[in-house]
Amino acid sequence: MSGSLRIHWVITPKIAPRPLINCNRCGTVKAYCSSGKFRVNANGKRIDVWLIYRCIDCDNSWNFGIFERCNRRDIEPALLQALESNDPWLARRHAFDVVALRNRIGRLDEFPDVAVHKHRLGGTRETATALELQLGLEIPTSLRLDRLLAGELGISRSRLQALEERRLLVVHPDGAKALRKPARQGTTIRIDLAGEVDQDDIMEAAGG
């Protein structure tokens, strides 16, 4: 009996985006990277919190505002404790907040490198003729979906496009031109591999 091999991919970006800032020490625009450290400044009932960035060449600092003139009562005690203790997960989450960084600084260096952890949800290579991939992203990535699939499945982007044109590859819910957009949380990709000579190899690469 034929069916689908269902695989869950958890995608984790490896390198946080780096703001491009005019460094007053270097005298030119330089990339800054997150130090993983927060600066918390309390003035009475008001709190300011920044994530500290460092110039990759001279170590000059730049502060990325997380909270500005925020009332202490508006910050959960557990969150404040995490900020004061430089919680690594929290620092990483803010370092990967591309939207907030763009709004603050505008120009960024972004990196497509990711780690992909694969877990089979159902089906087997022996009985399946279709591959269904469910994407989970802990943090947004700029990596295009076609580059992700090509790298992980070992097939070319032109072949992926051809499969999409023949409706053998369907992306939900992104629809048209989804292959050219960044991979997104909750996306499902279904690929009909019936008749493909390398069906088993693709399914094995997918994590089946």
pLDDT tens by residue, 31-54: 999 999 999 998 888 999 999 999
Same domain, 78 and 117: no
Q: Are residues 90 and 153 in the same domain?
A: no
Q: Are residues 117 and 196 in the same domain?
A: yes
Mean pLDDT score of the chain: 92
pLDDT at 122 over 50: yes
* Domain termination residue (choose one: 109, 144, 178): 109
pLDDT in tens, 168-183: 999 998 766 899 998 8
Considering 68, 91, 109, which residue would you say is the last residue of a domain?
109
- What percent of the chain has a predicted confidence (pLDDT) above 70? 98
Q: Are 118 and 199 found together in one domain?
A: yes
117 in the same domain as 202? yes
Q: What pLDDT sits at residue 129?
A: 94
pLDDT in tens, 143-162: 899 999 999 999 999 999 99
Give the model's pLDDT for residue 174: 72
DSSP state at residue 180: G
Statement to judge: residues 143 and 191 lie in one domain: yes
Which of 89, 109, 129 is the last residue in one of the domains? 109
* Domain assignment of residue 196, given as a range: 3-14+112-206
Are residues 121 and 89 part of one domain? no
Same domain membership, residue 149 and residue 172: yes
Verify that 39 and 93 share a domain, yes or no. Answer: yes
- 94 lies in the same domain as 176: no
Q: Domain tally for the chain? A: 2
26 lies in the same domain as 105:
yes
Residue 1 is predicted with a pLDDT of: 41
128 Cβ partners below 8 Å, 6+ apart?
2, 3, 4, 5, 203, 208
Quote the pLDDT of residue 188: 96
Burial, 206: exposed, middle or buried (Cβ in 10 Å; 0-12, 13-18, 19+)?
buried
Strand-strand pairing, 46-55 and 28-43: antiparallel
Using one digit for the tens of pLDDT, what is the confidence trace for 77-111?
999 999 999 999 999 999 998 888 988 988 999 88
What pLDDT, on a 0 to 100 scale, did the predictor assign at position 45?
A: 87
Alpha carbons 149 and 152: distance in angstroms, whole number:
5
- Residue 77 makes CB contacts below 8 A (sequence gap 6+) with none
* Pair 149, 102 in one domain: no
Read off the pTM.
0.76
